[in-house]
Chains A and B, each alone.
Chain A
Amino acid sequence: MKNKEKVELNPDQIHIKNLTIDDCGMKDADFAALLDVLMRQGKLKSITYINNEFSEQSVDALSRILGNSAANCQDHHFQHLECLKLGNLKVGSQNCPGKRERERKLIYDLMVAIDDYCLKNPLKRLKLQELELGYEVGYDGYEKTPDYSTVHYISGQFNLNPGLLELDISHSKLLPRQLSSLMAALAWQYTDAAGNSPSKMMM
């Protein structure tokens, strides 16, 4: 313990506000473990996670961070997540029957967590690149809800997120009709009296 007390403690080298993990060969469980530790600090403002493995544990940990941040929205000492960038991720880890449905469930669960979070704390930057957002029906184990998709949540971001500065959903395999839905939501924002709209949008 004495050795620990000799260490020079510098908050800017301990508190982590920005986390960037790009092409590290990071496994799902390891990312989840790191997120759980950082959640205890309550200082994260930005998460960028690209070119790594992303599966059930990561989604659960990310949901916990979003939920924890939303729960502490009144605490001024608590930093709130403003930027979430996920891209080119290896979603799901095994080639087995039902893999596609599990991937869809993961993305769906992620979108629900983001949506819930944005009810209290709007994200300023959201990137969901190369995640399959374009499916239209429910997945196995859940009630089939035709014509319901993650695009519904993306569209909802325009309403929930008046401060949204950047939205990147490029390479998300959106269907033409879903694009129309997004455009309609975006157009609504542009005609909104408040004039709120993302300043940068990539599809």
Chain B
Amino acid sequence: MPAFAKIQDYELNLSNQFVNSETIAALSAYILDQTELLNDKVSK
């Protein structure tokens, strides 16, 4: 996960963190990746 982003207690809070297209793309990819892994794990 990108260092600036913390997902805790089901909350993603990016307040006062500077983000750009690269960091959001990295964060989006991480979320997507982990979600698919979790879904795979649940379905097994």
**Which chain A residues have a beta carbon within 8 Å of chain B's beta carbons?**
4-5, 7, 9, 11-27, 29-30, 33-34, 36-38, 40-41, 43
Residue from the list A5, A18, A23, A30 in contact with B11, Cβ < 8 A: A18
Which residues of B line the A interface, CB within 8 A? 7-21, 24-25, 27-28, 31-35, 37-38, 41
A82 to chain B, nearest CB (A): 13
Chain A residues closer than 8 Å to B17, beta-carbon distance: 24
Are B37 and A4 in contact (CB-based, < 8 A)? yes
Our count of residue pairs bridging A and B at CB distance below 8 angstroms stands at: 85
Are B16 and A34 in touch, CB under 8 angstroms?
no
User: If the complex has contacts A20-B12, A23-B16, A25-B18, are A13 and B7 also in contact, measured as CB distance less than 8 A?
Assistant: yes
Closest to A26 in B: B19
Q: Report the minimal beta-carbon distance from B16 to chain A, rounded to whole angstroms.
A: 6
With A13-B8, A14-B35, A43-B10 as known contacts, state yes or no: A25 contacts B20, CB within 8 Å.
yes
Closest CB of chain A to B4's CB: distance in Å? 9
List B contacts of A36 (CB < 8 A).
Answer: 28
- The answer on a CB contact under 8 Å between A33 and B37 is no
B10, B13, B18, B37: the one within 8 Å of A7 (CB): B37
Q: How far is the CA of A13 from the CA of B15 in the complex (A)?
A: 17
